[in-house]
Structures are given as structure tokens and as C-alpha cells.
């Protein structure tokens, strides 16, 4: 998962100088304003036209009988798949 996170977010950030990474607890204050408090408790208010919320959460696999024995995908598998899944016709 670490490699997926690097490929998905951090490399995109490194390649695009117009994107600023801000870590912390955030809340929307308005249509274009976000308040962010960092790990030291320092708060700042940002005005922006776009926001990506990366919570670090993972997929929860529901306890559906028989699901564990199937080839189901979460978003992580879908992002790294080399071939498309087989579909019924």
C-alpha cells in the first residue's frame, strides 16, 4: 500500500509545483475556504479553488458469505490491475 500511496499522491505532488500539500485536521469554512490545524496545533485558513481529501482510509470488506473466496476488487486492486476483469456477455 505504501508504494500505491507514493504512486498515487506523492509523485503527483512532486511533479506539479502548483499543488501544495497541507497536512492536518481540516474543515470547510466556505465554498473556497478551508481551515487546517497542523500536528502542532497551528491553524491557518486557506483560499483555494480545488481540494483533494486524502484521509488514508482503507477499504472495508463486508462480511458477505462467500465473498472471501471470490476475486473481488477494492479501489487499490483496481488501480494496479494489469488487465480488465472478465465480464459476462
Model pLDDT for residues 39-72, shown as the tens digit of each residue: 999 999 999 888 877 777 778 888 989 988 887 7
Calpha distance 59→20 (Å, rounded) = 26
Contact 31, 25 (CB under 8 A): no
Give the global pTM: 0.52
Mean pLDDT of 5-31: 81
The helix/strand/coil state of 58 is coil
Position 87 scores a pLDDT of: 65
Amino acid at each position: 500500500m505504501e508504494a500505491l500511496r507514493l504512486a498515487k499522491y506523492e509523485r503527483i505532488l512532486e511533479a506539479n509545483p502548483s499543488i501544495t500539500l497541507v497536512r492536518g485536521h481540516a474543515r470547510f469554512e466556505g465554498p473556497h475556504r478551508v481551515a487546517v490545524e497542523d500536528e502542532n496545533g497551528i491553524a491557518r485558513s486557506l483560499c483555494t479553488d480545488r481540494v483533494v481529501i486524502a484521509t488514508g482510509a482503507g477499504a472495508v470488506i463486508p462480511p458477505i458469505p462467500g465473498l472471501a473466496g471470490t476475486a473481488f476488487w477494492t479501489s487499490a486492486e483496481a488501480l494496479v490491475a494489469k488487465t480488465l476483469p472478465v465480464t459476462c456477455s
